[in-house]
Structure 1
Amino acid sequence: MSSIPATSLLRRRLHHSSTSNGIRRILSTPTRARASRSLSTFSSYEYPNRTEAPEVTRTIAKEVGDKVLERGSPLTPETVHARGADDDDRFDDLGRLSAQDRLATKSKLPPLNTTLSGATAIEPTAPAYIPVLSSHDKLKVPTTEITCLANGMRVVSQETYGQVSTVGVVADVGSRHEPQWGVAHLWELVAFGATQRHSSGLEIQELLQDWGGTRFVNTGREQSLVCIDILRPNVEKAVQLLQAVLLEPKFLPEEVEDAKRTMEFQSLDLPPELQMEEALQTAAYGLDQQLGKPHYCPMEHLSTLNADVLRNFWNHNVLAHPQDIVIGGAGIGHEQLVDLTLQYFGDWPSAAVDSKSAQQSVRTKPSLYRGGQCFLEKPSSDGFTRVALAFELDGWHSEDLVPTCVLQTLLGGGNSFSAGGPGKGMYSRLYRQVLNRYQWAESAEAFTSIHAESGLWGITGSSQPKHSRDVIHVLADHLARLSMELVTDEELDRARNMLKCNVLTQLESRLVLFEDLGRQVLTYGHREDMDTTCRKIDAVTKEDLQELARKAIQKPPTLAAVGEGLDKSNIPSQEEVARWFQGI
């Protein structure tokens, strides 16, 4: 007796009981007749929610011809021939109107050659501000151009030959420079508020909508960014608005109070990942140093913020330092951007308030890495405990910057569940050797946090609280192995290719290009071309990665955790973790 797979038996049982018996019991005679013709193709295994067989219709292409069926009509010869003279009634696709209603509706529609009031005719020639469409061999290859103005400001731009431009400002000011916690975060929320020429932020928002633009603001620990993405004809209006936002802000008390309420809500609902980042910086550098201060204002410090504090911060750190400002543009000619900058920002020193420059001290004070631990007992909505283990690396000007990025890409990682297709690091080391191996590991991901004088490199992970110690053991093991064993050629090639792919793909975005232009010029004084960057990535060797990891683990580790159950049984101390790496 031949064996039959269980799935085949299930299909036969469902087909027999739901189709044959069910149809005989509850369906009408016409329906049974139609169903009997389709029994060969219908089963309730394939259509589990159907109580009758689907109606299967067939027709031949030549019977349809060039006729267009009504939306939702079954494709049968009868429906095709029944349309008759009403084939041109496209406004009644569902066939819900009577013949009289269709005629009445058609009589109210204007003819197609009607002239619309207020419409602008398409001119035969494009306006001067729109780049001429030409083949790529006739266009100049876009390059980065930089100009330094007399007041110390720098202007950087790169053409994209598009119809939309991004212009903005990158400033050397961040949360490390604030006298009171949360001032930089407060400015991020009121940046496009009232100015000397605009009564409120709502007025600015309406102007941007009229101009076809949108604005972006971001503050970090060291740099801040404000930009406008706008239709190319309105670039000058955008630069003029940036002048008002940067040089003429009012910082109205009512707008500041609204922003503080927003900060309060954000503090109550700060994602665990951001809490982890804050804890990691505090553990690595300490609250008494600039890099160890929190970027997001703690709830208990909101009462210390007001309009005067924000105004003093802005006057001291921005208006008094035009040399720490970069005007950037992506998708705009360099000469045009320089002219606009001279027109609206050329007299910046005379527009700035008296900042008592003789009494000013150096704004950026170097922070020394210490290493340590910071545990935040804050239950998360998903019930997971998040941990991070990190070591110090050098800052932005280090020769190890590119190898650090390659090593981060090689480790990769992410969440245990990842929706989507390939190309997201599923073959990185942390995915293959952690997430795919340990069922209790909910996430594992490498990270870097680079600053001017120092940086952090490590791995974060999450799990149920009872497995937090296991996660830290696994993370420490992988960091130690990098210092003792060479990575494989396959891993290195994959990491280098993926890093180049990520960098080049992101730079296809106009906003990312603007940010890269501004931040590189502000940090290095120039922008490195992509050919040079790719050559540096290709030059990284296995020995470079091993030496980088070996130097890193010689320093004290930094340990941070956010979640619940952070006792000694679940989380090892920083001193215990440091002993794990002794002798390596």
Structure 2
Amino acid sequence: MSYSYGALKTYMPEMVEVLVDCVRNPALLDWEVKEEIMKLKAELAEASSNPEAFLLDALHSSGYSGALANPLIASEASVSRLNTDVLEEFLALNYTSPRIVLAASGVDHDELVSIAEPLLSDIPTATGTGKPKSVYVGGEYRRAADSSNTDLALAFELPGGWLKEKEFATASVLQALLGGGGVFTWGRPGKGLHSRLNPLVNEFDQIKSISAFKNVHSNTGIFGIHASTEAAFVPKVIDLAARELTSLATPGQGTLTVLCSSVIKLFTVHLIA
């Protein structure tokens, strides 16, 4: 969770005070909590019908044991149990000094510390047992849906997560190389002619979209291919995805040329952005 504020530098003391007050003294009114719960239920109903959001949740719940296996898309039953007391308990447990970071841009560090320290010095320390651990175990998840298309994901662990920069950079290049897109995709790097996956959409009418993805955490992550296709064509799509991944594991000169081109395009995109 994050709280942010933007204003002129001369108002920095007021900004810090307002942010700290929002964090430490939230007004959790019963009627507002109930109103937000109703909004949350509507958002969750929409998210549950979003294949990409659901697949990412399913990959974590089936692929990991530990904290990362917990769902991001809450069930309606769990949301219904929320109330002011539950929220206050959550704040007391999680809003502790080791978990808080105060960051600012365009201000003097010493001045920021002098303003924030009196407001934050008495925040309680954590009483927990440390960061929860997660272990990648792999798995499979299936759910029936009232849809003419089937969405599937073939994923693998990305060991090290953000902390292993070399592996993360490699995964980023592979994602750019595989690329992907849908029926109406064309053009930019990672799409169309620059992609290894998107031509499959043109070759097979049954495939509506196919693309590489990654989701990275501090110490681990997942990398894979997501596709939307006709139900009867799922086995073929899995074979095609495996073929592309296998070809990358045993590259020839042509693949190496495309890989170098993708590296250049990837860094060009980042530099422009």
* TM-score, normalised with respect to structure 1: 0.43
- 1:340 aligned onto 2:119: no
Out of 28, 36, 41, the residue aligned to residue 264 of structure 1 is 41
After the TM superposition, which residues 21-36 of structure 1 pair with which residues of structure 2 at under 5 Å, given as runs? none
| 3-state DSSP of counterpart to 1:444 | strand
- 1:500 aligned onto 2:267: yes
- 1:306 aligned onto 2:83: yes
Q: Is the 8 A contact 1:264 1:299 kept in 2?
A: yes
- 1:349 aligned onto 2:128: no
| 3-state DSSP of counterpart to 1:409 | helix
Q: Is the 8 A contact 1:327 1:341 kept in 2?
A: no
After the TM superposition, which residues 170-185 of structure 1 pair with which residues of structure 2 at under 5 Å, given as runs? none
Q: Residue 393 of structure 1 aligns with which residue? A: 158
* Change in 2 beyond 3 A, CA 1:501/1:294: same
* Change in 2 beyond 3 A, CA 1:235/1:370: same
Percent identity over the alignment is 26
After the TM superposition, which residues 50-449 of structure 1 pair with which residues of structure 2 at under 5 Å, given as runs? 224-230=1-7, 234-270=11-47, 271-286=50-65, 289-318=66-95, 320-321=96-97, 323-330=98-105, 332-333=106-107, 335=108, 338-350=110-122, 352=123, 357=126, 359-362=127-130, 364-380=131-147, 383-394=148-159, 395-398=161-164, 399-418=166-185, 422-423=188-189, 425-426=191-192, 427-432=194-199, 434-449=200-215
Q: Residue 558 of structure 1 aligns with which residue? A: none
Q: Is the 8 A contact 1:462 1:471 kept in 2?
A: no
Structure 1 residue 231: Cα displacement: 5.5
Q: In the alignment, residue 501 of structure 1 is paired with which amino acid?
A: T
Deviations 1:322-370 (A, max 9, x none): x43333334x24x1x55235313544131x3x56x5x5321x2211111
Q: Residue 474 of structure 1 aligns with which residue? A: 240
Query: How many angstroms apart in 1 are the aligned matches of 2:31 and 2:116?
Result: 28
| 3-state DSSP of counterpart to 1:361 | coil
Query: How many angstroms apart in 2 are the aligned matches of 1:342 and 1:253?
Result: 36
User: Which structure: larger Rg?
Assistant: 1
Q: In the alignment, residue 151 of structure 2 is paired with which amino acid?
A: R
Structure 1 residue 317: Cα displacement: 1.6
Query: How many angstroms apart in 1 are the aligned matches of 2:133 and 2:244?
Result: 31
* Change in 2 beyond 3 A, CA 1:254/1:389: same
Structure 1 residue 449: Cα displacement: 1.3
Query: How many angstroms apart in 2 are the aligned matches of 1:473 and 1:479?
Result: 10
Query: How many angstroms apart in 2 are the aligned matches of 1:291 and 1:440?
Result: 33
Structure 1 residue 447: Cα displacement: 0.9
Query: How many angstroms apart in 2 are the aligned matches of 1:422 and 1:349?
Result: 50
Query: How many angstroms apart in 2 are the aligned matches of 1:464 and 1:345?
Result: 58
* Change in 2 beyond 3 A, CA 1:476/1:248: same
Query: How many angstroms apart in 2 are the aligned matches of 1:346 and 1:478?
Result: 57
Q: In the alignment, residue 446 of structure 1 is paired with which amino acid?
A: A
Query: How many angstroms apart in 1 are the aligned matches of 2:258 and 2:118?
Result: 51
Deviations 1:457-489 (A, max 9, x none): 111000122222222221122122222334623
Unaligned runs of 5+ in 1: 1-223, 507-584
* Change in 2 beyond 3 A, CA 1:499/1:226: farther
Query: How many angstroms apart in 2 are the aligned matches of 1:251 and 1:501?
Result: 47
Over 6 Å off, 4+ runs? none
Q: In the alignment, residue 329 of structure 1 is paired with which amino acid?
A: A
Query: How many angstroms apart in 1 are the aligned matches of 2:236 and 2:9?
Result: 54
Deviations 1:268-312 (A, max 9, x none): 1112211111111111014xx200111121112112222222222
| 3-state DSSP of counterpart to 1:377 | coil
Deviations 1:511-540 (A, max 9, x none): xxxxxxxxxxxxxxxxxxxxxxxxxxxxxx
More helix by share: 2
Q: Is the 8 A contact 2:149 2:231 kept in 1?
A: yes
| 3-state DSSP of counterpart to 2:163 | coil
Query: How many angstroms apart in 1 are the aligned matches of 2:79 and 2:38?
Result: 9
Out of 206, 214, 217, the residue aligned to residue 451 of structure 1 is 217
Q: Comparing 245-254 with 270-279, which one deviates more in the overlay?
A: 245-254
RMSD: 2.4
Q: In the alignment, residue 450 of structure 1 is paired with which amino acid?
A: V
Deviations 1:542-563 (A, max 9, x none): xxxxxxxxxxxxxxxxxxxxxx
* Change in 2 beyond 3 A, CA 1:299/1:378: farther
Query: How many angstroms apart in 1 are the aligned matches of 2:27 and 2:156?
Result: 43
Query: How many angstroms apart in 2 are the aligned matches of 1:379 and 1:341?
Result: 55
Q: In the alignment, residue 241 of structure 1 is paired with which amino acid?
A: V
Q: Is the 8 A contact 1:414 1:443 kept in 2?
A: yes
